[in-house]
Structure 1
Amino acid sequence: MADTSREIESQPDVWRQGIALADVGRAALAAPGERMLVLGCGTSWFMAQCVAELREAAGLGETDAVCASEFVPRRRYDRVVALTRSGTSTEVLDALQRVDAYKVAVTAVAGQPVDDLVDERILLDFADERSVVQTRFPTTLLAMVRAGFGADLGHLVADGEAALRAPLPTDPAGIEHLVFLGTGWTVGLAHEAALKVREAAQAWSESYPAMDYRHGPVAVAGTKSLVWSFGGTPAELDDTVRGAGATPYRDDRDPLAQLVLAQRFAVALAAHKGLDPDRPRLLTRSVILR
């Protein structure tokens, strides 16, 4: 089995381990009342968006999510959290050196340069990946964070297992354009799902806050478009999608389980196009600038 597919299928098992670290996640990332910045690049930036929304929604304090390459130290933070699977991404390391605050890294590999720049590290090495394309590290991170912030995730593992068995929403051979929609913390998941399609299948994919879809993006939808909603997006959007000739998709599983299905769809689309998702075009495990 290819690394990407194997790691997708392992997610329910590693989520159990992530949820078991709820107290660790809460101690390092909840920090009630503190102003927090969450940094990341690529997938980790989208996870930062999810974490920031989840933290504020839980009433824990003001939280910003910033792409590390765009970080400019304009305001004061009590705590800065860097999300970095490899612990080596240049832009994340540079950003950490330019901010004065208590610093936490969430990573999958010990002994990397990020360790020397932070006060505390959460190591999710059991969720590390061989694949360039991230799947189980970011979802395990979110499982830990959600549990640490008080969410009831008793259903999550079962939903993830169901998503591994579920049929794909449609035949990838009939799809040329994917749009992912989210609301609240699932906007970050929508961005991540679209990125998986671009990385694994080199395909046209977009992502938006759900209610913004009618403010322009729907104009390019057509008969070969699949519009996929994460979380509690308004059901009436499906009528807009159908009116454009496109196919809407939503289900009632946990949003992380819905992301598992989207990951599977990206891999299936790659296979249809004759691509190897373990060797994505122009990508490496970590972006290191010299």
Structure 2
Amino acid sequence: MTATAAEIASQPDTWQTALARAGEFREALAAPGERVLAIGCGTSAFVAQSYAKLREAGGIGETDAAYASELPTGRRYDRVVAITRSGTTTEILTALRGLPAGTRRVVVTAVEGEAVDELADERLVLGFADEASVVQTRFPTTVLAGARAVLGHRHDQMVHDGRSALATPLPVEAGRFDHFVFLGTGWTVGLAHEAALKMRETAQAWSESYPAMDFRHGPVAVATERSLVWAFGEVPEGIAETSAGAGATVYQDADRDPLAQLVLVHRLAIELAGRRGLDPDRPRRLTRSVVLAPAGTDAAR
């Protein structure tokens, strides 16, 4: 078993651990009444998007999300939550250094003793969810599992459905498709973006992601019988019919927890990578963390 596959299989256990540490998640991520900005890069940016939607939907307080390299201008926040598995990503460090005085800097990470520690007023360290893999799976889903538990979002089936998603056969055959589209609404739009990224990183697949309603505003034009359209949770009426009308295969399971559906996508990506002779532990041109060289040098990793 690859390290990536082993970490995928461990997710229900890390979610359970996160639920047991709900007090720490509440202190870092809830902060009732505060105006919050969540930031990240890549996978962590999608987690930030989902967290922001969950926090606002829970009535906790105004919450924005942004890529660390594209911070909002002209706005002030009480708290900035930076999600960074490694604690070394250049854009995260730069963003935190540039925040105005008085902004509380909260860092959600999997590692202690890295550069981000010196910039944090508060840390939520999820060492139990750290990963050997370059491709992130259990760290981001564990962040969301804990966030859902403290933001008033239904999560009672999450661990059960996660275990079921590991034990059940995949709902579709990876080899039937060469085009993958993931759709979501509300907080699951971030999951859709993350699912598409996993297919690209792990299997070098052509994958896209959209808010469900926006799929009809152009993207459906490229759907064919070789397309899989995967909808997370409930989607507006007519989306499945539009997809099927284009010849695509539609997968939707509104009864399965969305995080558990993401586990199925992780497994699908691993399956497709195997069919294509790819090693998921060594994704092409990717590293665990993007650390850029100082300006004026040509070294970067």
TM-score, normalised with respect to structure 2: 0.95
Whether 2:287 is the aligned partner of 1:284: answer yes
The residue that corresponds to 2:299 in the other structure is none
The separation in 2 between residues aligned to 1:151 and 1:77, in whole angstroms, is 23
Alignment of 1:12 with 2:15, yes or no, is no
Q: Which amino acid aligns with 1:180?
A: F
Aligned residue identity for 1:129 = E
Q: Does 1:269 align with 2:272?
A: yes
Instruction: Give, as a single letter, the amino acid of the residue that structure 2 aligns with 1:14.
Output: T
Please give the secondary structure, in 2, of the residue aligned with 1:60.
coil
Cα distance in 2 for residues equivalent to 1:216 and 1:8 = 33
Provide the rounded CA distance (Å) in 1 between the counterparts of 2:269 and 2:182.
Answer: 12
Paired letter, 1:38: A
Cα RMSD between the aligned structures?
0.9
Structure 1: runs of 5 or more not aligned: none
Which one-letter code corresponds to 2:201 in the other structure? E
Write out aligned runs for 1:143-182 (5 A): 143-182=145-184
Return the alpha-carbon distance in structure 2 between the equivalents of residues 235 and 18 of structure 1: 34
What is the match of residue 297 of structure 2? none
1:40 equivalent in structure 2: 40
Q: Report the counterpart of residue 59 of structure 1 in structure 2.
A: 59
Matched, 1:218 2:220: yes
Go from structure 1 to structure 2 and tell me whether the alpha carbon gap of 1:276 and 1:96 turns closer, same or farther (over 3 Å shift): same
Structure 1 CA distance for aligned equivalents of residues 247 and 218 of structure 2: 16
Q: Secondary structure at the match of 2:108?
A: strand
Residue by residue, what CA displacement relative to the aligned partner does 1:90-143 show, whole Å, maximum 9, x if unpaired?
000000001120010000000111110010000000000000000000000000
Tell me the equivalent position of 1:230: 232
- Which range is displaced more, 68-77 or 268-277? 68-77
Say if 2:40 and 2:66, in contact at 8 Å, map to a contact too: yes
1-structure distance, mates of 2:179, 2:289: 27
Q: Give the letter for the 1:144 counterpart.
A: G
Residue 20 of structure 1, CA deviation: 1.2
Measure, in 2, the Cα distance between the counterparts of 1:124 and 1:201.
27
User: Following the alignment from structure 1 to structure 2, what is the Cα–Cα distance between the partners of residues 239 and 183?
Assistant: 17
In the TM superposition, structure 1's runs of 4+ consecutive aligned residues that sit over 3 Å from their partners are: none
Is this contact kept in 2: 1:73–1:98, CA < 8 A?
no
Contact 1:47–1:188 (CA under 8 A) maintained in structure 2: yes
1:253 corresponding residue in structure 2: 256
Q: Secondary structure at the match of 2:284?
A: coil
Rounded to whole Å, the distance in 1 between the matches of 2:233 and 2:43 is 19
Counterparts of 1:34 and 1:157 in 2: how far apart (Å)? 30
SS in structure 2 of the partner of residue 66 of structure 1: strand
- CA deviation profile, 1:44-71 (whole Å, cap 9, x unmatched): 0000000000000011111110000112
Contact kept? 1:73, 1:99, Cα under 8 Å: no
